Amino acid sequence: MNDTMEVKKVRVPNEFLVRFDVRGVPIGAHLVMMSYLQAGEEILEETIRLEDAVPTEWSSVAIASLLGDYAAQLSAELSAKQRELDQARAWIAQFKGGAPQPE
């Protein structure tokens, strides 16, 4: 049996600030990253550190990747909540003696 727990350093975006011109077109951005240590599933809060804001290109591949990853995470969370809602509706419907009603 292995009693060791994996500790890893995690680095995630914390804040993304975008500057726009007078026409509403993005012209620049700053990114603040956050790092911390994670032991298994537990975040070691005393290790949380915010890095300095770093200028970045709005159109950079790194920013697109970060935003894409975040959107994918939110989409997965939304799908999970929708499944929970569907299950709850089905459970309620069986007590009402009918099928769930569409919204």
Cβ neighbors of 93 (< 8 A, separation 6 or more) are 99, 100, 101
Task: Please give the residue that has the higher pLDDT: either 60 or 88.
Answer: 88
pLDDT tens for each residue of 2-11: 567 789 998 8
Q: What local confidence, expressed as pLDDT, does residue 60 receive?
A: 61
- Candidates 97, 12, 73; CA nearest to 48 is 12
| pLDDT on residue 98 | 63
**What type of residue sits at position 35?**
S
Proportion of the chain above pLDDT 90, given as a percent? 25
How far apart are the C-alpha atoms of 75 and 70, rounded to whole Å?
Answer: 9
For the entire predicted model, the pTM comes to 0.46
The tokens of 9 are what? 């350093």
User: Is pLDDT larger for residue 50 or for residue 1?
Assistant: 50
27-46 pLDDT, tens digit each: 788 888 899 999 988 999 99
